[in-house]
Structure 1
Amino acid sequence: METTVRLMAIVAALLALMLAAPVLAAEVGFEEVGIPDGAEPPLTAGIWYPTDAPATPHALGNVTQTVAPDAPIAGRQLPLVVLSHGGAGWYGSHYDTALALARAGFVAAAVSHAGDTFDDQSRVLQLWRRPAQLHRLVDYMLDDWRGHERLDANRVGAFGFSNGGFTVLVAAGGAPNLSKIAPFCEVHAEHDLCEALRHAGVDVHFGANVRAGVWVHDARIKAVVIAAPAFGFAFGRAGLSGVRAPVQLWSAVDDRHQPHPWYDEPIRDRLPRAPDYRVVVNAGHYDFLPPCDARLARMRPEICGSAPGFDRAAFHRRFNADVVRSFESMLR
């Protein structure tokens, strides 16, 4: 009897390990979806996932990705990572990271944040809209996506860059104090943020009217990876006390768009649990975006240029591998 019980325990443990083990996909499936957003137009999102279907090159905006569009989904109990792009980006802004996650057995879903995309900057300073939109993405993926029954609702992570890093921190429990923007810009008028507000004719005191209760949190997010988060100075210790998920934080040494020590460092120093802090030497702010081909580099030199000697393609191979490993560890 004791031997039988012991064998049953071993079998149960092996089954649990098999369910938790990542699915190593032969290929990556992809689809674009519309997500209901109340009275507003549907949000647009991209979803990358493991598949056994053959993949071929397909255009994604100004880049090409090798995927199997609308293919069957491979695997069960798949972990989910939602991605939030930077200001003036779109759901395809971090397609290479999404592809790496899908190849490792994750489902990666990214939303275009309506009002803060490359073709619509009409609500860029209504920052509270972003975490609410990310929340809707998680809702959709776990409840309505055609593959929702293949997801493990207990293993949900979030990745964000720049404004997306801010978004993910809020979604994970952070509460910024935007009234800090005005005194910050009084001292640092030359910073990109403050110059942009001035050129747009926006009163830097706008944050004083933002209620604390406007921020939408999502307790389903169990792991966070952020790179060069925006508005870091707006988070105090109390405002970050609600972030209970483990955090990996990436910082570019030569980030002149969000210069040190007012963005990454306040997050690093004020989180209730010390993050896994990664510093990238010789990198600039936009080096966290995928490498550009020659055509895109001509179109968008401001986001495609890197410092002499910095190999963005090589960095992204390491970066994506580290992000995958981190989510595998944090969502175990």
Structure 2
Amino acid sequence: MTPAQTAAPTPLIVISHGNGGDFRSHEATARALAQAGFVVAALTHTGDNWRDQSRATDVAQRPRQLHVLIDYLLTDWAGRTEIDADRIGAFGFSAGGFTVLTAAGGEPDLGRIGDHCIAHPGFYDCGLIAARGAPKTDQTWVHDRRIKAVAAAAPALGFAFTRQGLSGVAQPVQLWRGENDRVLPSPFYAEPVRDALPRPPEYRSIPGAGHFDFLPPCSARLAELAPAICAPTPGFDRAAFQQTFNRDLIAFFRRTLTAPGGGR
């Protein structure tokens, strides 16, 4: 997705969806970013999407796939001259939040999963691991130093990040959590990331928001097919929040991906 008007090379934002999603999961956010002047690209993660869950817990594949996407956009995509390769940001939700933090330089300690899931077997991630198998603890992580700013909403496996593990994430980070998140509940996910980052993130804790409120409101068809992600959070206006959320993402990436001399 490209901006409505393009003159000089433009910042790029890549988007990583959550478990079981696809490239359309954050379409409204992608459109808002494009309308604000960014080039935007969202991928569907192989083996972790709504059609195929065969590699849903093979989390090391995700940052590698994001790296491949950026490579493609900068070297092979027909519109590559529109992109300013020195101004690349990444946004991810849930498993996508984990993805962008790892791609930006994070090294999670997956050995922490065992104790976490013994203590919290009913949590969503532990149920997924029980069904699909635990990821290997001796992973080689693919990082992409071209990523200059990161926005992560409700990041999965946040408890796996230590101060040492996030010491390589020196980029500006905007970190979001929903205070009514029952899928990845407090204090095991966003809070460990917040506390371990080497520089304080722009932290947004949203009163009343549930996990899936970081996704846009569902169409009638999607609500029929995926009621778990579409059911309204009682007392919370997802549509109104999405407008605020997108405005804050745009503002964050504008601040952190500013061209030399102050241009967009």
What range is the shorter-chain TM-score in? over 0.9
* 2:77 corresponding residue in structure 1: 145
Q: CA deviation at 1:312?
A: 0.8
Q: Which of the numbers 89, 93, 98 marks the counterpart of 2:25? A: 93
Over the aligned positions, Cα root-mean-square deviation in angstroms equals 1.2
Q: CA deviation at 1:51?
A: 3.4
Q: Which of the numbers 87, 92, 117 marks the counterpart of 2:49? A: 117
- CA offsets per residue over residues 158-193 of structure 1, 9 Å max, x none? 000000000000100000011110111111122122
Q: Aligned equivalents of 2:21 and 2:42: distance in 1?
A: 11
Q: Aligned equivalents of 2:129 and 2:142: distance in 1?
A: 24
Whether the aligned pair in 2 keeps the contact of 1:181 and 1:207 (CA below 8 Å) is no
Letter in 2 for 1:321: R
Q: Aligned equivalents of 1:138 and 1:256: distance in 2?
A: 33
Secondary structure at the residue paired with 2:25? helix
Letter in 1 for 2:145: A
Q: CA deviation at 1:85?
A: 0.3
1:79-90 aligned within 5 A: 79-90=11-22
Whether the aligned pair in 1 keeps the contact of 2:56 and 2:132 (CA below 8 Å) is no
**Greater length-normalized contact order (CA 8 Å, ≥ 6 residues apart):** 2
Determine if the alignment matches structure 1 residue 207 to structure 2 residue 136.
Answer: yes
Q: CA deviation at 1:296?
A: 1.9
Determine if the alignment matches structure 1 residue 51 to structure 2 residue 1.
Answer: no
* 1:315 corresponding residue in structure 2: 241
* 1:264 corresponding residue in structure 2: 190
* 2:89 corresponding residue in structure 1: 157
* 1:107 corresponding residue in structure 2: 39
Letter in 2 for 1:285: H
Whether the aligned pair in 1 keeps the contact of 2:4 and 2:37 (CA below 8 Å) is no
* 1:66 corresponding residue in structure 2: none
Question: 1:291–1:177: structure 2 CA closer, same or farther, 3 Å change rule?
Answer: same
Q: Aligned equivalents of 1:306 and 1:274: distance in 2?
A: 32
- CA offsets per residue over residues 173-218 of structure 1, 9 Å max, x none? 00001111011111112212222322x263x5x533x23xx10000
Q: CA deviation at 1:143?
A: 1.2
Q: Aligned equivalents of 2:112 and 2:145: distance in 1?
A: 26
Whether the aligned pair in 2 keeps the contact of 1:177 and 1:207 (CA below 8 Å) is no
- CA offsets per residue over residues 241-271 of structure 1, 9 Å max, x none? 0001100001000111001100000000000
Q: State, as a whole percentage, how many aligned pairs show the same letter.
A: 53
Q: CA deviation at 1:89?
A: 0.5
* 1:286 corresponding residue in structure 2: 212
Letter in 2 for 1:176: P
Secondary structure at the residue paired with 1:184? helix
Letter in 2 for 1:117: N
* 2:262 corresponding residue in structure 1: none
Q: How many residues of Structure 1 are paired with residues of Structure 2 in the alignment?
A: 258
- CA offsets per residue over residues 225-249 of structure 1, 9 Å max, x none? 0100000001111000000110000
List, as ranges, runs of 4+ consecutive aligned residues in structure 1 with deviation greater than 3 Å. none
Decide which structure has greater strand share.
1
Q: Aligned equivalents of 1:141 and 1:118: distance in 2?
A: 24
Q: CA deviation at 1:322?
A: 0.8
Determine if the alignment matches structure 1 residue 249 to structure 2 residue 175.
Answer: yes
Determine if the alignment matches structure 1 residue 220 to structure 2 residue 173.
Answer: no
Q: Aligned equivalents of 2:152 and 2:169: distance in 1?
A: 13
Q: Which of the numbers 225, 232, 235 marks the counterpart of 2:158? A: 232
* 1:27 corresponding residue in structure 2: none
Secondary structure at the residue paired with 1:225? strand
Q: Aligned equivalents of 1:195 and 1:322: distance in 2?
A: 32
- CA offsets per residue over residues 138-172 of structure 1, 9 Å max, x none? 11111111111121111000000000000000100
Q: Which runs of 5+ in 1 are unaligned?
A: 1-47, 53-73
Secondary structure at the residue paired with 1:137? helix
Q: Which of the numbers 265, 273, 277 marks the counterpart of 2:199? A: 273
Q: Aligned equivalents of 1:157 and 1:292: distance in 2?
A: 26
Letter in 2 for 1:51: A
Secondary structure at the residue paired with 1:249? strand
Secondary structure at the residue paired with 2:171? coil
Letter in 2 for 1:49: T
Determine if the alignment matches structure 1 residue 132 to structure 2 residue 46.
Answer: no
Determine if the alignment matches structure 1 residue 167 to structure 2 residue 96.
Answer: no
Whether the aligned pair in 2 keeps the contact of 1:157 and 1:223 (CA below 8 Å) is yes
Whether the aligned pair in 1 keeps the contact of 2:108 and 2:162 (CA below 8 Å) is yes
